[in-house]
Amino acid sequence: MRAPSWLPEPVRRVLRPVRRLWRTGALRTRRSTVVARRAWRRSLQVRVVTITLVSSSLLVGAFGLFVATRSADILLSRATADVEARLDSKAQYATTQLRVHRQVFDARLPTTLSDIVQSLSEGDPGQSGGAVVTLRGEQYPNLRPVTLPAVDTSEVISPELVRAIAERGEVAWQVRTADLGEGRQKYLVYGSPVPTRFGQLQLYYLVPLTTEDSAANEIRTTVLITGLVLVLLLGILAALVTRLVVQPVRVAARTAQRLSAGLLDQRMKVDGEDDLARLAASFNQMAENLQRQIVRLEEMSRLQRRFTSDVSHELRTPLTTVRMAADLIFAERDDFDPAVARSAELLQAELDRFEDLLTDLLEISRFDAGFAILDAEPTDLVPVVGRVVERLEGLAERAGVVVEQRLPAEPVIAEVDPRRVERVLRNLVGNAVEHSEGRPVIITMACDDAAVAVTVRDHGVGLKPGEEKLVFNRFWRADPSRARQTGGTGLGLSISVEDARLHGGWLEAWGSPGEGAVFRLTLPLRAGDRLASSPLRLEPVPAGQTEPGDRTEDAPVEVAP
């Protein structure tokens, strides 16, 4: 709520506190609404109790309204019957007394009317309760009405009631509220025609409904209090009943959370033999089976890791012997026949690949066993990239690929393990050269105050949607039918992502069919720091922009093998 600018400054000063109060109230209302919505969504007990309270309130309210209305009607009916019986005898008495008068101009008629009203009032025990008796002739203007007690009854006797009695000769009644000297209260107004020799007069009997109205109010109050107590008890009962059902579910949820956190010995308490007890027993049985299965799988995984490590170590000895013999044969290949010489070259190449595979398997086993150690030291990463490119020059020349380096002119010092970083970059650049389809490969480096990033971009076949996650899986290949030029082991990217994690960094991939792929390595400048963003964006920038310096403010999702 903002004050219009055309208002005078004094008025705007007065409106400022109102504006603040409005904002405060709106904020509190919004917060309360948010809290209520959150409780409604998250708590089954709140929903059940709320629905029970609302439905029971409607039912109890409807029943209470019916009881109160019916009680008031019964009280009014009793009062009407009593007054009607008394009014009938009063009308007969008035008719008997007025028989002596043959015309309305009789001088004794007013005195007779006063005597009749006085007699009717004295003979009625209801007078002590405020009953009023009036005798009048509406069609005779010169005949003054007689009322006892002497009060103004014009507010109580309505024209509709007068027409029904004076014109149609009917016995009629109505309930009116008026003040006749004893405070404003309800009156039951009953009227009856009184036939005489000179015409018809009207007798009105006004009985206060104080007792009946008080009884109806007491009934309504009792019904209201009883209804509120009943609704409250139903709410408490619903809360207790739902708690009996919801509490085991909550315990099961907490137990499931502990199980998912690795606490496999957690179990639910089983009480009784009802459905909830059977649920707890079934849950415990499920947890027991899961624990056995997980322990079995962990044991199998441990045995597999141990088998891989043992086999890798055991193969080292025969591989060394075979390597020595192969080196001797390879050195003397010029003296052999061309077929034997070619076989020696193939043997040397496959031994190199076999040795690389054993090295990667040993490295993977160390990561799986949690024995990998980070030897971090301050390192300039610019020469590291240069060494990687220099070592892969032969592969790039054979593939006809130009490797372009976009590196900072100043040193980029980071606390890293240079051996592991060089291995990661060697895998990324080697894969980019292999899949670039003869197009250029671009290596970009940038840093900020907290992190350093290196992207390797190729313009080859690219990656299909979803393959940017699968590419880090062990032994996964985008196209298994495609011949490899480097003779890799299929474990390079899996080891690379583990090296990045060991540094507390990220290794991510992006690709699009026909547009190539981008791999981004992001490492903290200081060992142990937590990354929040990367100095380089992962997706290629549009044409006309430079890639270094672009930031990705959102922390990326690490792709795990």
Amino acid at 149: P
H helix and E strand count, the chain: 12, 12
Domain boundary among 372, 407, 432: 372
User: How many angstroms separate the CA atoms of 18 and 1, rounded?
Assistant: 9
Q: Which residues, 6+ apart, have CB-to-CB distance to 522 below 8 Å?
A: 451, 452, 453, 500, 505, 506, 507, 508, 531, 534, 535, 536, 556
Q: Indicate if 29 and 161 belong to the same structural domain.
A: yes
Q: Indicate if 389 and 367 belong to the same structural domain.
A: no
**Which domain range does residue 306 map to?**
267-372
Beta strands in 353-505 (DSSP E): 377-380, 403-406, 413-416, 441-447, 451-458
Q: Indicate if 351 and 479 belong to the same structural domain.
A: no
Q: Indicate if 366 and 423 belong to the same structural domain.
A: no
Q: Note the pLDDT tens digit of each residue in 88-103.
A: 888 888 888 888 887 8
Residue pair 130/180 in contact (Cβ under 8 Å)? The answer is yes
Q: What is the CATH number of the domain that holds 317?
A: 1.10.287.130
Q: Name residue 455's beta-bridge partners.
A: 444, 520
Q: Indicate if 137 and 42 belong to the same structural domain.
A: yes
Residue 532 tokens, joined: 């929040």
Tracing tokens 């960094």 back to the chain, one arrives at: 505
Q: What is the CATH number of the domain that holds 410?
A: 3.30.565.10
Q: Indicate if 141 and 125 belong to the same structural domain.
A: yes
Q: Which residues, 6+ apart, have CB-to-CB distance to 510 below 8 Å?
A: 463, 468, 517, 518, 520, 538, 539, 540
Q: Indicate if 291 and 389 belong to the same structural domain.
A: no
Beta strands in 85-213 (DSSP E): 132-136, 146-148, 172-179, 184-195, 200-208
**Side-chain half-sphere CA neighbours of 544 within 13 A:** 0
Q: Could you give the number of structural domains in the chain?
A: 3
Q: Note the pLDDT tens digit of each residue in 406-427.
A: 999 899 999 999 988 998 998 8
Tracing tokens 């006063």 back to the chain, one arrives at: 114
Residue 23 belongs to a domain: yes
Q: Indicate if 44 and 129 belong to the same structural domain.
A: yes
Q: Indicate if 358 and 382 belong to the same structural domain.
A: no
Q: Where are the alpha helices (DSSP H) in 98-181?
A: 109-122, 159-162
Q: Indicate if 102 and 211 belong to the same structural domain.
A: yes
pLDDT one digit per residue (tens) for the chain, 561 residues = 555 555 566 666 666 676 677 677 666 777 777 777 777 777 777 888 888 888 888 888 898 888 888 888 888 888 888 888 888 888 888 888 888 887 877 788 888 888 888 888 876 544 445 688 888 887 887 888 888 888 888 788 888 888 888 878 888 888 888 878 777 888 888 888 888 888 888 888 888 888 888 888 888 888 889 988 988 888 888 888 888 777 777 788 888 888 777 777 778 778 777 777 887 888 888 888 888 888 887 777 777 667 766 766 677 778 778 878 888 888 888 878 888 888 888 888 788 777 777 777 777 777 766 777 888 899 999 999 999 999 888 888 988 899 999 999 899 999 999 988 998 998 899 889 988 888 899 999 999 989 999 999 998 888 888 888 888 887 776 555 544 444 456 778 888 888 899 889 999 999 888 888 999 999 999 988 888 889 998 888 665 555 444 443 333 333 333
Residue pair 481/415 in contact (Cβ under 8 Å)? The answer is no
Residue 316 tokens, joined: 């080292």
User: How many angstroms separate the CA atoms of 426 and 507, rounded?
Assistant: 14
Beta strands in 247-324 (DSSP E): none
Residue 513 belongs to a domain: yes
Residue 317 belongs to a domain: yes
Q: Indicate if 220 and 100 belong to the same structural domain.
A: yes
Domain boundary among 323, 340, 372: 372
Q: Indicate if 38 and 110 belong to the same structural domain.
A: yes
Residue 262 belongs to a domain: no
Cα angle value 71/73/79 (rounded, 5°): 105
Torsion on CA atoms 62, 68, 72, 75, rounded to nearest 10:
130
